[in-house]
Chain A
Amino acid sequence: MEHHSNTAVLEGHHVHDHAHAHDDHEHHQNFVQKYVFSTDHKVISRQFLITAIVMAVVAMTMSIIFRLQLAWPGEKFAFIESLMGKKWGKDGILDPNAYLALVTIHGTIMVFFVLTGGLSGTFANLLIPLQIGARDMASGFLNMLSYWFFFASSIVMLSSLFIEDGPASAGWTIYPPLSALPEAIPGSKLGMTLWLVSMSLFIVSSLIGGLNYIITIINLRTKGMKMTRMPLTMWALLITAILGLLSFPVLLSCALLLIFDRSMGTSFYLSDIYIGGRPLEQSGGSPILFEHLFWFLGHPEVYIVLLPALGITSEIIATNARKPIFGYRAMIGSMLAIGFLSFIVWGHHMYMTGMNPFLGSVFVFTTLLIAIPSAVKAFNYITTLWKGNIQYTPAMLFSIGLVSSFITGGVTGIILADSTLDITVHDTYFVVAHFHIVMGLSAIFGMFAGVYHWFPKMFLRMMNKKLGYLHFWVTFIGAYGVFFPMHFLGMAGVPRRYYTNSNFPMFDNMVDLNQLVTIFAIIAAFGQVIFLINFFYSIFRGEKAPQNPWNSNTLEWTTPMAHVHGNWPGKLPEVHRWAYDYSKPGHTNDFVPQTVPLGPDEHDGGEH
C-alpha cells in the first residue's frame, strides 16, 4: 500500500511537470487508443455510462414483462413470445421459470451493473480528477482495466440470457441450495455458472476501480484542496470506494465457495438434502453461512449504491439552491457513520432464518442507529433549500426527487429493521416497496441528476431542458405510482417473487392494485424513452455548452470546453476555499469558485 501510494504520487508529479508533453502525445493516439482502450478518465466515464444505460434498458424491459404477468396473469401478449421465444413465452404467456429468471436478472443488473458499476463508474471516473484538480486517475491503466472487466462481465451476464436452460433464476441474492442444485431449478444449471463468472469479473472491476479512486483522492489533490474543502461528491465517492474495497472480497469468497459446492463436490452450504429422487452425498454445511457472507457485502452494497447518489445531489442541491450545503461537516460525519454502521447491520436480512434471536436483537439495535445519520442528511438537504433561490434545472428536480424518495423509503426501513415487526412483513411486497423506493429510486434519481448536471462536461453539449422536465415529471409520478401501492400488497401479506398472486383465492381482490402498478410502470418506461432520445440526440446535436453553465464553484467548471488529456492546459488550478460559497455576502456574483483567493477578513466555510 505504502509503495503503491508513493508511485501514485510520483506519477501525479510526473504528469504535473510534463503537461505539455502529454498534450503532444495525444495527437498520436489512434481511434482505438482514444475511444476504445482509453486510459483517459473522461472517456472511461462515458464508457461506463453508456454500458450502464444499455444494461438499464434491458433490465427495465424485463420488469415490464413480469409486471404484465403480475397484473394480467394468463393473458396473452404476443410480443412476449416474439421476444422470449417459444420456450419461455409460449402463446405470449410467460413461463414460471422465465418469470423467476427475469426477476433475478432484473435485480442483478439494476443493483450491480446500473447502480454500482454504472453510477460509481461513471461519476467517480468523471468527477474525481476534475473536482480535486488532478490530471487523471492515479493509474490510468488500472482504470481502463476496471472498465473492460466491467464490460466483460456485462457481456457474460447478457450472454446467459441466450442459453438453453435460461439465466440464473434463484433471485438476485442467489441463496443456496436453490442456486447450488441444478435439479432444483433450470436456472441453476449453466445460467448460474455464468452468473458467478460474470459477478467474479464484476468484483475484479469494482476492486481495481475502487482502489484507484481511493488512491487518487488521497494523493492527487491539487494545491490547497484540503480534505475539508472537497465537494461532498468526493467524500461520498471516497467512502463508497472504501466500502466496496472492504466488502466485495467477501462476496468473491462467498461466490467461490458456491462455485466449489456446485462443481467440485464440496459442501460449504449443503446439508441433509434429498433432491432429484436421491439423497445428496454432500452434507455438513450450512446455507446460513452463505447468507452471512452474502449480506456482509449485501448491506454495505446498499450504501455503495446510495452514497454516490447522495454525494451528487449534495452538490447539485447546493449549486441550484444558490446556497451553501447546510451542515457540511455534519454531512461528512453522517456519511462516515453510515459507512461504518453499514458493516454491522447485515443480520437484519436474516431475522427469520432461525438465527439466534439474541443475535437478531443486536442487529435491531445497530440497524436502527443508521436512521440517525440518515435523518440528519435528509434534514440538511431540506434546510439547504430553506431560504434558497432554487434554480429548477432538470438535475435539481431529480435531486429533490431523491430527497423525497430517501425520506419515503427510509421511514419504512424503521419497520423492517425491527425484528418483531419483520416477522409479519419479511419477504412480502412491503420489502419490495421499501428497497425500491429508498435504494432504487434514490440512486437512479441521483444518477439522472448527475447525467443532466455533468452532461456538458462529458459531451461538451447541453441536454434539452424541456425534455428533461418532461422526463422528470413522468418518472417521478410513475415511480411513486409503481412502488407506493406495493406497501399495501405487503400489508395484505402478499409474498415476493410469486409468479401470480391469483393461483389461490387469498389475494384475488388485490389484482386491481397490481394492474395499477403495472400501468404506472408502463408510463414510467415511456418516460425513459424521452430520456434516451434526449441523451443520444444531445450527444451529437445538443446545444453547445458554455464553460460553467450552472454558475458552479467546483473545479471541473474551470477546465476548457474541449477534451484535453490532462484536463487543464498548463498549470493545475490552486484551491483557496471550500466548494460551497454560494450567495456569500460581500461578493457581487452569487457564486465564488474555489480558485478565488480568500479576502483578508474572509473565513473558509469548510472550517466551520
Chain B
Amino acid sequence: MTLLYILALILLCVALNQLFRVFELSRDLRGEKLYKVHDAENKANGRGMLLFMFAFFAFFLWQIDQYYYRILPKAASEHGNKIDALLNANYALVVFVFFVVNGFLFYFAWRYHGTKNRKAEYILHNNKLEMLWTTVPAIALAFIIIFGLKYWNEIMKRNNDADPVKIELYAKQFDWTARYAGKDNQFGIDDYMQINGSNPVGLDTNDARSNDDILVKNEFHIPVNKEVIFQFRSRDIIHSAFMPHFRAQMNCVPGQITSFRFKPTITTAEMRQDPHVKRNIDEINAMRAKKGEDPIDFDYLVLCNKICGASHYNMQIKIVVESESDYNAWIAKQPTRKGKAIAALK
C-alpha cells in the first residue's frame, strides 16, 4: 500500500514536471513577459476587489443573522447593563467605520484599476483632508475615552453598600471553591502553609473569624438585587474568574487577593424565561436529543479564562441567583467550617 502511494507520488511529480516543461517551452517560444500585468487582468482583479467587498459584507450580515441570538444574552447585573450600553455604542461606531473605510478601499481598488492609456494623478498631500481625518478620529476617541473611563471608575469604585454579601472564589487546578464570610460577614486570614485535606483553601486555623465561614463546591447561590463583593484567590497558578452573563471578570493570582463587585439583577429562574436564552437552550437541547443526551436548562457559570493546564476547558462552577428569602433559606442549611469539623469528629 505504502509502495503504491510512493509510486503515485513519483508519477505525479513526473507529470507535473512535464506540465511545467510544456508551459516553459511555450513561454519561451512566444517570448512573452509573463510577469507583465495586462489591462484585462487589472480589470479582472479590480472587479474581484469589488466583488469581494460585497461578498465580505454579505458574509458579515449573514453571520449577524445566524448568531445574534447565540451571543451572550442581556446582562444580568446592574453594571453589566452599562457595559452593554457602552459596548453597543462602540459596536455601532466600529461597524460603521468598518463598512465605510473598507468600502472606500475596495471601491478605489476597483475604480482606479490600471489601463494603458491613463496616467495617475500626481497628488502629494492635502492639508485640509489630513486635518479632517486626524481630528475626527481624535474627537470620536475622546468620547470613547471619556465614557469608558467614567464607567470604569464607577464599576471599580469601592463604595460600601450597607450590607453586601461577601464571597471568596478560590481557584485551583481544576475547580472552584466558593467561601461565604458567614454570620460575622468577615473572612479570616489565609495561610497557604496550612493547606491540607480538611483545610482545602488554606485558612489560618488560629483566626476565629473563619470559624463561621461556609465553603461550597459545584454551585453557589447569591441573592438578587443585593451587592456581592467577590474576592479571588488562587492556590497554584493564575486562573481567571469569568462570569460572562454578569459581564464580570477578574484574575485569580497566587500571592494576592483581587476583587470585583456587582449587583445581580435577574434570577436564574427569570433568565430561563428570557426569549433569547430560551431559543438558545432549545437549540442546544435539540442537538443533545439527537445524541441521546438529557436536556439541560440555562445556568449562570463561572468559567476559568486564563490558561491553567490540561483541564482548563472544564473548570466551572454554577451560580444560582435567587430571591433573598430563598438565598437565606439555602445559606442557613450550609454547614459552617467549624460545624463541619465538629461533625467530622463525631
Which chain A residues have a beta carbon within 8 Å of chain B's beta carbons? 96-97, 100, 170-171, 175-178, 181, 184-185, 270-275, 279, 283-288, 321-324, 326-330, 352-354, 357, 360-361, 364-365, 368-369, 371-372, 375-376, 378-379, 381-383, 385-393, 397, 400, 403-404, 407-408, 411-412, 414-415, 418-421, 423-424, 426-428, 462-466, 469, 473, 476-477, 480-481, 484-485, 488, 491-493, 495-501, 503-506, 508-510, 513, 537, 541, 543, 545-546, 549, 582-585, 590, 605, 608
The reply to whether B316 and A504 form a contact with Cβ atoms under 8 Å apart is: yes
The reply to whether B120 and A330 form a contact with Cβ atoms under 8 Å apart is: no
B306 smallest CB distance to A (angstroms): 6
**Inter-chain pairs besides A178-B237, A365-B145, A491-B72, 16 sampled, C-beta below 8 Å:** A100-B310, A274-B192, A322-B120, A323-B120, A326-B125, A365-B149, A371-B141, A376-B130, A379-B101, A388-B114, A392-B37, A418-B90, A423-B83, A469-B41, A509-B280, A546-B33
The reply to whether B287 and A509 form a contact with Cβ atoms under 8 Å apart is: yes
Q: Which chain B residues numbered 227 to 246 have a C-beta less than 8 Å away from chain A?
A: 232, 235-238, 240, 242, 244-245
In the bound complex, residues from chain A placing their C-beta under 8 Å from that of B145 are 364-365, 368
A88 smallest CB distance to B (angstroms): 12
At the interface, yes or no: B123 with Cβ under 8 Å from chain A? yes
Cα of A480 to Cα of B55 in the assembled complex, Å: 11
In the bound complex, residues from chain A placing their C-beta under 8 Å from that of B205 are none
Chain A residue nearest to B287 in the complex (CB):
A508
Cα of A369 to Cα of B144 in the assembled complex, Å: 11
In the bound complex, residues from chain A placing their C-beta under 8 Å from that of B275 are none
Cα of A148 to Cα of B27 in the assembled complex, Å: 39
In the bound complex, residues from chain B placing their C-beta under 8 Å from that of A498 are 312-313
A478 smallest CB distance to B (angstroms): 12
Cα of A387 to Cα of B118 in the assembled complex, Å: 10
Chain A residue nearest to B141 in the complex (CB):
A368
| 19 A-B pairs whose Cβ atoms sit less than 8 Å apart in the complex | A185-B310, A271-B255, A322-B119, A324-B123, A329-B125, A364-B149, A376-B130, A382-B104, A385-B112, A389-B115, A418-B90, A424-B247, A465-B34, A477-B55, A492-B67, A493-B245, A495-B303, A505-B288, A543-B33
The reply to whether A414 and B112 form a contact with Cβ atoms under 8 Å apart is: no
The reply to whether B83 and A424 form a contact with Cβ atoms under 8 Å apart is: yes
A184 touches which of B90, B133, B237 (Cβ 8 Å): B237
Cα of A492 to Cα of B63 in the assembled complex, Å: 13
At the interface, yes or no: B334 with Cβ under 8 Å from chain A? no
Cα of A158 to Cα of B314 in the assembled complex, Å: 30
Q: Which 9 A-B pairs have the closest CB atoms?
A: A271-B255, A354-B258, A493-B244, A357-B156, A392-B45, A498-B313, A491-B71, A583-B120, A385-B108
At the interface, yes or no: B87 with Cβ under 8 Å from chain A? yes
Most buried by A among B138, B141, B307: B307
The reply to whether A181 and B102 form a contact with Cβ atoms under 8 Å apart is: no
Cα of A503 to Cα of B101 in the assembled complex, Å: 40
Q: A323-B120, A354-B251 are in contact. Are A424 and B63 (CB under 8 A)?
A: no
B256 touches which of A286, A501, A584 (Cβ 8 Å): A286
Q: A385-B109, A488-B63, A493-B244 are in contact. Are A327 and B255 (CB under 8 A)?
A: no
Chain A residue nearest to B151 in the complex (CB):
A420
The reply to whether A541 and B152 form a contact with Cβ atoms under 8 Å apart is: no
The reply to whether A465 and B35 form a contact with Cβ atoms under 8 Å apart is: yes
Cα of A286 to Cα of B238 in the assembled complex, Å: 11
Q: Which chain B residues numbered 130 to 172 have a C-beta less than 8 Å away from chain A?
A: 130, 133-134, 137-138, 141, 144-145, 148-149, 151-153, 155-156
In the bound complex, residues from chain B placing their C-beta under 8 Å from that of A504 are 301, 314, 316
Chain B residue nearest to A477 in the complex (CB):
B52
Chain A residue nearest to B35 in the complex (CB):
A462
The reply to whether B137 and A375 form a contact with Cβ atoms under 8 Å apart is: yes
A223 smallest CB distance to B (angstroms): 24
Most buried by A among B60, B93, B122: B122
In the bound complex, residues from chain B placing their C-beta under 8 Å from that of A387 are 112, 120-121, 123
B313 touches which of A285, A499, A509 (Cβ 8 Å): A499
At the interface, yes or no: B70 with Cβ under 8 Å from chain A? yes
A608 touches which of B98, B106, B124, B173 (Cβ 8 Å): B124
B211 smallest CB distance to A (angstroms): 22
The reply to whether A97 and B27 form a contact with Cβ atoms under 8 Å apart is: no
In the bound complex, residues from chain A placing their C-beta under 8 Å from that of B46 are 390, 392
In the bound complex, residues from chain B placing their C-beta under 8 Å from that of A181 are 236-237
The reply to whether A354 and B119 form a contact with Cβ atoms under 8 Å apart is: no
At the interface, yes or no: B305 with Cβ under 8 Å from chain A? yes
Cα of A284 to Cα of B97 in the assembled complex, Å: 47
At the interface, yes or no: B323 with Cβ under 8 Å from chain A? no
In the bound complex, residues from chain B placing their C-beta under 8 Å from that of A329 are 125
The reply to whether B247 and A423 form a contact with Cβ atoms under 8 Å apart is: yes
At the interface, yes or no: B254 with Cβ under 8 Å from chain A? yes
The reply to whether B307 and A509 form a contact with Cβ atoms under 8 Å apart is: no
At the interface, yes or no: B283 with Cβ under 8 Å from chain A? yes
Cα of A465 to Cα of B248 in the assembled complex, Å: 51
B284 touches which of A97, A466, A473, A505 (Cβ 8 Å): A505
In the bound complex, residues from chain B placing their C-beta under 8 Å from that of A389 are 112, 114-115, 118-120
At the interface, yes or no: B59 with Cβ under 8 Å from chain A? yes
The reply to whether A184 and B173 form a contact with Cβ atoms under 8 Å apart is: yes
The reply to whether B112 and A480 form a contact with Cβ atoms under 8 Å apart is: no
In the bound complex, residues from chain B placing their C-beta under 8 Å from that of A372 are 134, 137-138, 141
A178 touches which of B34, B42, B59, B238 (Cβ 8 Å): B238
B42 touches which of A390, A537, A541 (Cβ 8 Å): A390
Q: Which chain B residues numbered 68 to 111 have a C-beta less than 8 Å away from chain A?
A: 70-72, 80, 82-83, 86-87, 90-91, 93-94, 97-98, 101-102, 104-106, 108-109
Cα of A397 to Cα of B113 in the assembled complex, Å: 11
Cα of A327 to Cα of B82 in the assembled complex, Å: 40
B168 smallest CB distance to A (angstroms): 14
The reply to whether A383 and B284 form a contact with Cβ atoms under 8 Å apart is: no
The reply to whether B106 and A419 form a contact with Cβ atoms under 8 Å apart is: no
B86 smallest CB distance to A (angstroms): 6
The reply to whether B125 and A273 form a contact with Cβ atoms under 8 Å apart is: no
The reply to whether A508 and B253 form a contact with Cβ atoms under 8 Å apart is: no
In the bound complex, residues from chain B placing their C-beta under 8 Å from that of A464 are 34
A45 smallest CB distance to B (angstroms): 21
The reply to whether B141 and A509 form a contact with Cβ atoms under 8 Å apart is: no
In the bound complex, residues from chain A placing their C-beta under 8 Å from that of B341 are none
The reply to whether B284 and A403 form a contact with Cβ atoms under 8 Å apart is: no
Cα of A510 to Cα of B109 in the assembled complex, Å: 35
The reply to whether A287 and B238 form a contact with Cβ atoms under 8 Å apart is: yes
At the interface, yes or no: B54 with Cβ under 8 Å from chain A? no
Cα of A172 to Cα of B341 in the assembled complex, Å: 44
B191 smallest CB distance to A (angstroms): 9
At the interface, yes or no: B184 with Cβ under 8 Å from chain A? no
The reply to whether A427 and B24 form a contact with Cβ atoms under 8 Å apart is: no
At the interface, yes or no: B20 with Cβ under 8 Å from chain A? yes
Q: Mark B24-55, 1 if CB is under 8 A from A, else 0.
A: 10010000011101000110011011001001
Cα of A485 to Cα of B61 in the assembled complex, Å: 11
In the bound complex, residues from chain A placing their C-beta under 8 Å from that of B202 are 274
The reply to whether B35 and A549 form a contact with Cβ atoms under 8 Å apart is: yes
B8 smallest CB distance to A (angstroms): 17
The reply to whether A497 and B120 form a contact with Cβ atoms under 8 Å apart is: no
The reply to whether B91 and A415 form a contact with Cβ atoms under 8 Å apart is: yes
The reply to whether A420 and B63 form a contact with Cβ atoms under 8 Å apart is: no
In the bound complex, residues from chain A placing their C-beta under 8 Å from that of B307 are 100, 170-171, 175, 178, 496-497
The reply to whether A426 and B305 form a contact with Cβ atoms under 8 Å apart is: yes
In the bound complex, residues from chain A placing their C-beta under 8 Å from that of B134 are 372, 375-376
At the interface, yes or no: B3 with Cβ under 8 Å from chain A? no
In the bound complex, residues from chain B placing their C-beta under 8 Å from that of A500 are 313
The reply to whether A96 and B311 form a contact with Cβ atoms under 8 Å apart is: yes
Cα of A411 to Cα of B137 in the assembled complex, Å: 11
At the interface, yes or no: B250 with Cβ under 8 Å from chain A? yes
At the interface, yes or no: B193 with Cβ under 8 Å from chain A? yes
At the interface, yes or no: B329 with Cβ under 8 Å from chain A? no
The reply to whether B63 and A543 form a contact with Cβ atoms under 8 Å apart is: no
Q: A271-B254, A421-B90, A499-B312 are in contact. Are A605 and B124 (CB under 8 A)?
A: yes
Chain A residue nearest to B21 in the complex (CB):
A541
Chain A residue nearest to B133 in the complex (CB):
A379
The reply to whether B152 and A364 form a contact with Cβ atoms under 8 Å apart is: yes
